[in-house]
A and B are shown apart, each in its own frame.
Chain A
Amino acid sequence: MIRLVKRPQPSAAWSYGAPLLAVLATILAGGLLFFFLGKNPGEAIATIFWEPLFGEFAFFYRPQLLIKGAPLVLIAIGLSLGFKAGIWNIGAEGQYIIGALCGAGVALAMYPLNVFWLFPAMVLAGALGGWAWAMIPALLKTRFGTNEILVSLMLVYVAEQFLASMSLGLMKNPEGFGFPGSRNLQQYPAAHNAEIIANTGLHWGVLAALISVIFAYVLLTRHRLGFSIRVTGDAPRAATFSGVSPKRLVIFCLGTSGALAGLAGLFEVAGPAGQVTIDFNVGYGFTAIIVAFLGRLHPVGILLAGGLMALTYIGGDIAQSQLGLPAAAIQIFQGMLLFFLLAIDVFTNYRLQIGRQEAA
């Protein structure tokens, strides 16, 4: 008889090992999936994980790694703070859209004024936009006890409609020959989130992501607030006795994650995407949830997980064009990663006992 026995202390080895095992298991299961789709599994896996880093065109794909990884890390860092404390913001996709709309809105309103403070103002507007959008579930939760999971998620659909309305209406490019979508911010020097070093993919969003990792690390390990977050997640009752205000924590965690998601949206719209369009959002807000868990809700882990997830995005694109692998296969691949992680994670807190149950 096999049973699970709770460990007195979570196992550190399993805690670090689980993400690695999950990645391995996903590669195996993914290979199987690709095989059933009629592709050579070895070739497909190599295309996804090897080609972007060391393949013939790696010079082109490596910068992409930063471009795709930055928003994922930025959003996931914010989400991880809340997830640690049991506050579930799953509407980062919406905050990402609103951040982009606010930031781009500032730029489009100022067009064609070229002043040095325009980009900083956009960054501020982007963060504020995401923050404000996240404040809706935060205030509803603290004021009325409304479930933040459902409210933040509903607001994603609202934000998507809002995005459609903006790109077809108010923010539409007046010189765009009637096509939907705003002016291209890449052609507006003061507003363009250009690469800091050419052809590296290193734009301001990447820098912001790295800074957020450092801030989150310091916050969680060195600051009282970070301690409150961790205690609330582990033992909510103990946390309130020690003087933590759950409401302020909700406001802080949702607000921070909203602001970071908003920033990610702004850096994307002003840089790699360039313009506000109906299909501007590509699901970073949801993938970031996987990144946060895969990184064990730890800042450094999230940085690594963000890189890995960016790799699957880019490798997936290559596999799509070279091997004809369907785009959805990569989505499944990413979903499987979270499944395996959650399943394997059981061994962090429990160990298997094989054999007969001991007499109590």
Chain B
Amino acid sequence: MDLSAINPVLLLAALLAAATPILLAATGELIAEKAGVLNLGVEGMMITGAICGFATAVETGSPLLGFAAAAVGGAALSLLFAFLTQVALANQVASGLALTLFGLGLSALLGQSYVGVKPPRMEDVNFGPLADIPLIGRIFFQHDLVLYLGVVLVASVWAFLKYTRSGLILKAVGENHDAAHALGYKVVRIRTLAIMFGGACAGAGGAYISLVRVPQWTEGMTAGVGWIALALVVFASWKPWRVLLGAYLFGGITQLQLNLQGAGVAIPVEYLAMSPYIITIVVLVLLSADKAQAPASLGRTFHASQ
């Protein structure tokens, strides 16, 4: 075992990158859940985004176009969920599972010819002299654009929910859809938009895995990150800043266990690889007492009977 092989500066830098897919997906899901929709299809939307982004980036040579395509792909898939739950009034848990199962199949089909292909590299943002600051420069200022956009996204979502009228309406729909309907808000339309936003974010998060983190395409490569993102929303008590915190925590754990695998710790690789999932469970248990923050209409079907 050689722990000195782990460079804390590189670890912290990699942590930010490891957290980004979870961060994007969880922020999107946060908006959907704030609107009262529990979409368990995050994993399916992520993996679909991963392949849409990957294929587009390879074909066009532009990773940024890839991310755009991933967001479109994720949002398109989420429309299926929106149709099932908002129009056909189907059970949200079952519909979300259907979306995940379908997304895994769809992505495998789309990705057949992309196995083993190398995607174009995502360039780091040029911060000029900032990047040369010792330690801090390496940790914070040598990343790609999407990583920073992820942080901006959290800030925007926070401001949207806290300071804008639309954010207030979104929360009203999630807290009590009957009252919101009585006030004249279009519950179904608002929820559909929230679901699509969630899909777009999950798709972009998936593309971050296939284009930046790995970067390669393999079937089922999201490996439960979508589910961890779902857990993260609960962990964060539906607060954007806590999503950021949680994402860095999980990113840190993921990265640390990868580094420990590399350093040849006496713990077998498989047990290190299961640690993010076990820690997710532990965190869920520790925080499950704090349910008061959940949107009151979460997971309930809305039908304007009158």
Nearest opposing residue in chain A for B228, CB measure: A154
Cross-chain contact A150 with B280 (CB below 8 angstroms): yes
Complex contacts, B228 vs chain A, CB 8 Å: 154
Partner of A154, one of B40, B231, B288: B231
Partner of A328, one of B84, B98, B108, B271: B108
Cross-chain contact A157 with B277 (CB below 8 angstroms): yes
Complex CA distance for A360 and B105, rounded to whole angstroms: 47
Complex contacts, B145 vs chain A, CB 8 Å: none
Secondary structure at chain B's binding surface: helix, strand, loop or mixed? helix
Partner of A150, one of B91, B274, B284: B284
Cross-chain contact B288 with A343 (CB below 8 angstroms): no
Complex CA distance for A330 and B80, rounded to whole angstroms: 19
Cross-chain contact A140 with B95 (CB below 8 angstroms): no
Cross-chain contact B227 with A154 (CB below 8 angstroms): yes
Given the contacts A326-B109, A335-B102, A360-B306, A147 and B234 also touching, CB distance less than 8 Å: yes
Cβ of B302 to closest chain A Cβ, rounded Å: 12
Complex CA distance for A333 and B108, rounded to whole angstroms: 13
Given the contacts A150-B284, A327-B108, A360-B306, A157 and B223 also touching, CB distance less than 8 Å: yes
Cross-chain contact B94 with A338 (CB below 8 angstroms): yes
Q: Looking at chain B, what size class is its interface with the partner chain?
A: 35 or more
Nearest opposing residue in chain A for B276, CB measure: A157
Does A289 touch B at the CB level, under 8 Å?
yes
Does A42 touch B at the CB level, under 8 Å?
no
- For chain A, residues 316 to 360, give those with C-beta under 8 angstroms from any C-beta of chain B: 326-336, 338-339, 342-346, 349-350, 360
Complex contacts, A290 vs chain B, CB 8 Å: 98, 101
- For chain A, residues 140 to 190, give those with C-beta under 8 angstroms from any C-beta of chain B: 140, 144-147, 149-151, 153-158, 161-162, 164-165, 168-169
Given the contacts A146-B285, A154-B231, A155-B277, A335 and B105 also touching, CB distance less than 8 Å: yes
Cross-chain contact A328 with B112 (CB below 8 angstroms): yes
Cross-chain contact A338 with B109 (CB below 8 angstroms): no
- For chain B, residues 98 to 152, give those with C-beta under 8 angstroms from any C-beta of chain A: 98, 101-106, 108-109, 112
Does A4 touch B at the CB level, under 8 Å?
yes
Does A61 touch B at the CB level, under 8 Å?
no
**Which of B101, B277, B288 has the largest count of A CB atoms less than 10 A from its CB?**
B101
Complex CA distance for A126 and B79, rounded to whole angstroms: 41
Which residues of B approach A to under 8 Å, CB–CB? 40, 80, 83-84, 87-91, 93-95, 97-98, 101-106, 108-109, 112, 219, 223-224, 227-228, 230-231, 234, 268, 270-271, 273-274, 277-278, 280-281, 284-285, 288-289, 291, 303, 305-306
16 other A-B residue contacts (CB within 8 Å) besides A136-B281, A140-B285, A335-B102:
A90-B97, A149-B40, A150-B227, A150-B280, A161-B274, A162-B274, A164-B270, A165-B270, A289-B97, A290-B101, A328-B106, A329-B109, A332-B106, A338-B97, A338-B102, A343-B83
**What are 30 A-B interface contacts by the 8 Å CB criterion?**
A4-B303, A88-B93, A145-B288, A146-B284, A150-B231, A150-B234, A150-B280, A150-B284, A153-B224, A153-B227, A154-B277, A157-B277, A161-B271, A161-B273, A169-B268, A326-B109, A328-B106, A328-B112, A331-B101, A334-B101, A335-B103, A338-B98, A339-B98, A342-B90, A342-B94, A342-B95, A344-B88, A346-B88, A349-B89, A350-B89
Which residues of A approach B to under 8 Å, CB–CB? 4, 6, 88, 90, 136, 140, 144-147, 149-151, 153-158, 161-162, 164-165, 168-169, 286, 289-290, 293, 326-336, 338-339, 342-346, 349-350, 360
Closest 9 CB pairs of A and B: A331-B105, A335-B102, A328-B108, A165-B270, A332-B105, A328-B109, A342-B90, A161-B274, A338-B98
